[in-house]
Structure 1
Amino acid sequence: MSEQPVLLPYADPAFVANPFPLYRQLREKGPMRRVVIAGGLDAWLVTRYEDGLAALSDPRLSSDIRDSSDPRLLQQLAATERESMLRNMLRADPPDHTRLRRLVSKAFTARRVAELRPRVQAITDGLLDAIVQAGRADLVADFALPLPVTVISELLGVPTTDRYEFQRWTDDMILRGPEPPDPAVADAAWQQMRAYLTKLLEAKRANTADDLLSALITARDEEQRLDEDELIAMAFLLLVAGYITTVNLISGGIAALLAHPDQLELLRDDPALLPDAVEEFLRYDGPVNPGIARFARETLEIAGVTIPRGATVLVASAIADRDPARFPDPDRLDITRRNNPHLAFGHGIHYCLGAPLARLEGQVAIGTALRRLPDLALAVPPGELRWRPSVLRGPEHLPVVFTPSSMPDVTGPAAPA
């Protein structure tokens, strides 16, 4: 493994639009590659499925960024993020991770999420009611974004009227391009988000309700299972993680269908394929790109390669999920694919807590949009779509056209999972 590190060229629009040819080359050259990722940081890239699956369950690989030996990782974080916003379960390892996850896991069980289906359907229909007469829309701004934002806001007890503010802060904090963000802009956004969450939690202390944030406050104030920084960090994680990747699942899934007319027709003809289709969208072009970062607690070996203590290990789910050793014909979108254990939601103890909710929203949103927007098509050539140049992959906008309709939806909800 004496090769020079490979630069992942996030500044190149062609790579951002379609990174998979380079990903395929990296996987074919070996199971582990040294790469330079966004911000000029070094990492070891795990390119194959079985190695990635094992790495995500390896306790020698930490989720805590403070286990990294590269000081640039922490230095590139905004001061407010370093000081108080790292205390969330996404960045924690056991025993803290176990304690934090247990506090919220009941809200995201398959049964509890299934109970949300009527409300998710109602929000979906309301958003589509607002655009069906126009015959054109941006399915990111008009549909894929406000749907999961509204759902997670209602679940947490966050006023939906505040969504424009926290979306703007999230853009400044999270949706980074190929270069490190402006420290002043990023830190200002983190400070505003922390101040907003602090004020929101204070209001809920004074007037508790039947929502998830109120339950977390009870855990903080009565049972003392959260300290104040952990409470704020948990509120942030649930709010932002609860919508941002689902936006990309919905918009990316629709974009994939519009680029593959045979699959679009297949799904229109058989809506019962929706659950399998959503899994295939997650595998084929999932919302996390290229994958999930871990940090070596000790020197270890992955796929025969020695990884030094403190190194960043990037489990490249976007590459592993197209590994031909695990997925036949992996570069083909196939919504009938059944045996599809992709890594888009991770694996092991950090498996995405919100996966059932994301799946539900993806199925309802995509199925209903296909039913209610006849002759749906891209309003621009596929090559003109702009994709986010960040670790969260998805189209920035999804301009579409369709046959206008003034008729209310009377055909019933999308096919259930």
Structure 2
Amino acid sequence: MTAGPYPYPFSGGYEKCPSLDLDPMYAQLRETEPVAQVRTPEGEVVTLVTRHAEVRKVLGQPKLFSREHAAVADALRPEAFLVDIEGDRHRAQRDLVKDYFTAAEAEKLRPRAQQITDGLLDAMQASSQPADLIELLALPLPITIICEVLGIPAADRTQFGAWAEALVGLRPGAGEAEMVATAEAGTALADYMAKALAERAARPGSDLLTVLAQADAPQVDAKDRILLAIAVLVAGFETTASMLGNMVLLLIGRHRPAWRQLQQQPAWIPTAVDELLRLIPVDARDGMPRGTTRDTRLGDVLIPQDTAVLVARAAANRDPRCFDNPDELDLRRAPNPHLTFGHGPHLCLGAHLARMELQVALRTLIARFPDLRLAIPEPDLQWKHSTMRGLKALPVRWTRP
């Protein structure tokens, strides 16, 4: 670490950053200074890691790079969600729900995901044009699936979108209005989940909320069970909804030949989904920091104890040391060890479910709307002001049969 600290985020902040492009500064640092110091808008100097091997090390060794460390405590949410905790507490919470998110369980849900997708696209086919793909497909598909997994009634699902967006959209340096909106959303979600868990304790069902309410796990208290239910809900649809919109935008826009290839070769969809997950940046800013618990070495750099560290997964996903032609879209890339879902103990619990939903949605959309196209120029699209890159709307058109 020599030339920094560099102003960060490189694209000028959340309002300027959102797009499907990765700022070229990431590539520059990855090649010249892969463990670099950056200065956030809040004035904090943190270490940014951009190469695949080093990012993987940070993600895989929470004893060295901890979310609970004092160096990053002020950056954590007021309530500690599953992604923010480490060690025995993290394992205990994860163990409560992990059986619902295996590859086998995701496959069991594939027919239901197909049924939901077919119904949503029937409605889209009958709708007026332009139609908003986020509203009509990208959001309702994953929220329906995760609510059914949890056991949340259909009548209650429409209110979750705004609550989740407020929680995910809280940014470092947010103004008072954003802080209030986030606090209100968190309170509303917590109240809802507390009541739902109490109902399952009295009247158990066969859903995940029942597991959370009934499980004999004294190390996971009532408050943590509420937070875990919220984390599952929010992570279960917000990230998938954003990524599905981003994938479709890329395929019907600048990578239109790939859209046509997938029409002709639908068997490529699974590898195409992972390649799109690799190529498309997920974060508008590189996640939550970790703190070093002792002096440790990343590559050729010795990082002192009590240093805040950020990992740039999108930069690592384009590391030429790990991927051939990393800036190109290769629909058949395999193996594909991207880090979009993370690595190590915090590997995304819903990775299998997200992959399945994205595969079903893309395969069906491409088959049913082969000439789907943007209804407005890409530069006119509006992006959410969030920690995650996602569109507010994706207006599309197609030729009716």
CA distance in 2, matches of 1:38, 1:235: 32
Query: 1:8-51: per-residue Cα shift (whole Å, max 9, x none)?
Result: 14437553223332322222331111123465543211111111
- The correspondence for 2:46, drawn from 38, 43, 47, is 43
Residue in 2 aligned with 1:408? none
Q: CA deviation at 1:370?
A: 0.9
Could you tell which deviates more after superposition, 138-147 or 170-179?
Answer: 170-179
Q: 1:62 Cα deviation (Å)?
A: 4.1
Distance between the aligned counterparts of 2:250 and 2:330, measured in 1?
11
Change (3 A) 1:240 1:70: closer
Q: Does 1:116 align with 2:109?
A: yes
Letter in 1 for 2:46: A
Code of the residue aligned with 2:13 in structure 1: it is A
Q: Which amino acid in structure 2 is aligned with residue 326 of structure 1? A: C
> Contact between 1:52 and 1:316, CA under 8 Å: does it hold in 2?
yes
Quote the Cα distance in structure 1 between the aligned partners of 2:276 and 2:90. Answer: 29
Query: TM-score, structure 2 length as denominator?
Result: 0.92
What residue in structure 1 maps to residue 193 of structure 2? 197
Q: 1:333 and 1:290, CA in 2 relative to 1: closer, same or farther beyond 3 A?
A: farther
**How many residues end up aligned between the 2 structures?**
393
**Cα distance change, pair 180–13 in 1 and its aligned pair in 2 (3 A):** closer
SS in 2 for 1:313: strand
Residue pair 2:59, 2:65 contacting (<8 A) in 1 also = no
Does 2:84 correspond to 1:91?
yes
In structure 1, the gaps of 5 or more residues are: 406-417
Mapping 1:169-318, distance limit 5 Å: 169-176=163-170, 179-182=173-176, 183-219=179-215, 222-258=216-252, 259-292=254-287, 293-318=289-314
The answer as to 2:372 corresponding to 1:376 is yes
Asked if residue 5 in structure 1 is aligned to residue 5 in structure 2, the reply is yes
Alignment root-mean-square deviation, CA: 2.1
Work out the CA distance in 2 between the residues paired with 1:380 and 1:22.
29
Q: Which residue of 1 aligns with 2:390?
A: 394
- Given the superposition, is the C-alpha separation of residues 185 and 390 from structure 1 closer, same or farther in structure 2, using an over 3 Å criterion? closer
Conservation of the 8 A alpha-carbon contact between 1:69 and 1:311 = yes
Distance (Å, rounded) in 1 between the aligned partners of 2:149 and 2:389: 25
The answer to whether 1:326 aligns with 2:322 is: yes
Match of 1:31 in 2: 34
How far apart are the structure 2 equivalents of 1:226 and 1:101?
10
- Percent identity between matched residues is 37
- What is residue 148 of structure 1 aligned with on the other side? 142
The alpha-carbon deviation at position 345 of structure 1 amounts to 0.6
In the TM superposition, residue 385 of structure 1 has moved relative to its aligned partner by 2.2
1:201 alignment partner, SS class = helix
Query: Is the contact between residue 296 and residue 303 of structure 2 (CA under 8 Å) also seen in structure 1?
Result: yes
Shift of 1:304: 2.1
Q: Give the one of 152, 158, 164 matched to 2:152.
A: 158
- Amino acid paired to 1:374: P
Letter paired with 1:268: Q
- Cα separation, partners in 2 of 1:5 and 1:388, compared to 1, 3 Å: farther
> Equivalent residue of 1:265, what SS?
helix
For residues 41 and 161 of structure 1, what CA distance do their matches in structure 2 show? 44
Q: Which moved more, 1:279-288 or 1:131-140?
A: 131-140
In structure 2, the residue corresponding to 1:279 is in which secondary structure? helix
1:132 corresponds in structure 2 to 125
* 2:69 corresponds to 1:67: yes
In the alignment, the residues of structure 1 paired with residue 92 and residue 73 of structure 2 have an alpha-carbon distance, to the nearest angstrom, of 28
Q: How far apart, in 2, do the equivalents of 1:238 and 1:33 lie? A: 33
Q: 1:59 to 1:177 in 2, by over 3 A?
A: closer
Q: Deviations over 1:234-263 (max 9, x none)?
A: 111111111111112211111111121111
Asked if the contact 1:20–1:319 (Cα under 8 Å) also holds between the matched residues in 2, the reply is no
- Return the alpha-carbon distance in structure 1 between the equivalents of residues 359 and 185 of structure 2: 32
Q: Is the 8 A contact 1:68 1:296 kept in 2?
A: no
Q: Deviations over 1:283-342 (max 9, x none)?
A: 000433454532212222212223232322111111110111211111111212122110
The equivalent of 1:348 in structure 2 is 344
Alignment partners' CA distance in 2, 1:2 and 1:325 = 22
Contact 2:48 2:312 in 1 (8 A): yes
SS at match of 2:396: strand
> What is the SS of the residue equivalent to 1:90?
helix
Q: Which one-letter code corresponds to 2:348 in the other structure?
A: C
Corresponding letter in the other structure for 2:28: Q
Listed one character per residue, the Cα deviations across residues 182-201 of structure 1 (whole Å, up to 9, x for unaligned) are 23222222222211211221
Q: C-alpha distance in 2, partners of 1:215/1:39?
A: 41
* Aligned-partner Cα distance in 2 for 1:239–1:118: 21
C-alpha contact 2:58 2:65 (8 A) present in aligned 1: no
AA paired with 1:168? A
